[in-house]
């Protein structure tokens, strides 16, 4: 996962534990059990990140996951309706998440892992559909990839060297 350098010290981040799994490794003397925690952090203002932490105890795994998520925070484009600027399909591994913009009053229509990302990113109106894999970690990362790839009309106009009115038609 590519890390963006966003200084998260100035944001008041909330966190949400999406999944806790018990994982084990077989070694010469038997099995070593640990816990893996998938944590999503966000400020509700267009910044969101996800991370995984593993440790012998659950609270330590959550702390490590939160630290990893803080390092992976990305900025999300949100339009005036509290939705995304355009429809997009985010992909990560075999998971795909379809993100569709929605008008004011729609709310967050999303499954568990994608919903956690949307709420912490500060998106108020969106429709999502998880396609392909249902692996929670991959669905969260696919959702973040999709949100990261969305561009505002201003960004598109700047990239093309045109005005926003020419882009919108």
What are the structural domain ranges in the chain? 8-74, 77-158
18-52, pLDDT tens digit by residue?
999 999 999 999 999 999 999 999 999 999 999 99
Residues 100 and 86: their CA atoms lie apart, in Å, by 7
Q: pLDDT digit string (tens) for 50-98? A: 999 999 999 999 999 999 999 999 999 999 889 999 999 999 999 999 9
What's domain 8-74's architecture? 2-Layer Sandwich (3.30)
* Alpha-carbon gap, residue 27 to 15, rounded angstroms: 34
The CATH class of the 77-158 domain is alpha beta
Q: Where are the beta strands (DSSP E) in 93-154?
A: 95-101, 108-109, 126-132
């Amino acid at each position: 996962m590519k890390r963006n350098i966003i200084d998260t010290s100035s944001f008041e981040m909330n966190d949400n534990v999406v999944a806790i799994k018990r994982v084990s490794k077989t070694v010469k003397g038997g099995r070593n059990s640990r816990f893996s925690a998938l944590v999503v952090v966000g400020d509700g203002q267009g910044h969101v990140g996800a991370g995984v932490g593993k440790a012998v105890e659950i609270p330590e795994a959550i702390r490590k996951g939160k630290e990893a998520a803080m390092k992976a925070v990305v900025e999300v484009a949100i339009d005036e309706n509290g939705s995304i600027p355009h429809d997009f399909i985010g992909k990560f591994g075999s998971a795909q998440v379809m993100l569709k913009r929605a008008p004011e009053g729609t709310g967050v229509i999303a499954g568990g892992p994608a919903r956690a990302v949307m709420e912490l990113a500060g998106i108020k109106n969106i429709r999502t559909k998880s396609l392909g894999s249902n692996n929670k970690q991959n669905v969260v990362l696919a959702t973040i990839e999709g949100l990261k790839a969305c561009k505002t009309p201003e960004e598109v106009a700047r990239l093309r060297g045109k005005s926003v009115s020419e882009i919108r038609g």
